[in-house]
């Protein structure tokens, strides 16, 4: 069963989704500022996104809809390929460590 997030009918739909890669980083949070609230008065009536710019950091940044740029398909593919290569390198190191202590590396 897939998790579901319900958005009230009178709210606009967010432009970005959880886990989406953007030029600013990966979207890890969404916040809506409904009309008539202090947040909407300060920031405008729209979505605000929490973005993790670097997966190796605990720093997060916050952006509104107009501050985030999407990545091209080629840019997303490039990022994913780089992550795959990084994980493959980590697997090789772990296999070497396992072999060094006499474990099996049947892969």
Q: What is the per-residue pLDDT across 24-59, written as a single tens digit (0 to 9) for each?
A: 999 999 999 888 888 888 877 889 999 999 888 889
Q: What percent of the chain has pLDDT over 90?
A: 61
Radius of gyration in angstroms for the set of CA atoms belonging to the chain, rounded to a whole number: 20
Q: Which residues of 81-100 are buried (b: 16+ CB within 10 A; e: fewer)?
A: eeeeeeeeeeeeeeeeeeee
Q: What is the mean pLDDT of the chain?
A: 90
Q: What percent of the chain has pLDDT over 70?
A: 95
Burial status of residue 43 (CB atoms within 10 A of its CB: 0-12, 13-18, 19 or more)? middle
- What's the CA gap between 51 and 18, in Å, rounded? 9
């Amino acid at each position: 069963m897939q998790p579901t997030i319900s958005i009230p009918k009178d709210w606009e739909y967010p432009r970005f989704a959880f886990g989406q890669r953007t030029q600013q980083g990966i979207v890890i949070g969404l916040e809506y500022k409904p009309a008539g609230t202090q947040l909407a008065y300060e920031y405008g009536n729209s979505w605000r996104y929490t973005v993790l710019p670097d997966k190796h950091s605990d720093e997060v940044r916050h952006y509104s809809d107009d501050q985030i740029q999407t990545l091209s398909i080629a840019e997303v593919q490039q990022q994913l390929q780089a992550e795959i290569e990084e994980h493959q390198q980590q697997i090789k190191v772990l296999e070497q460590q396992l072999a060094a202590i006499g474990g099996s590396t049947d892969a």
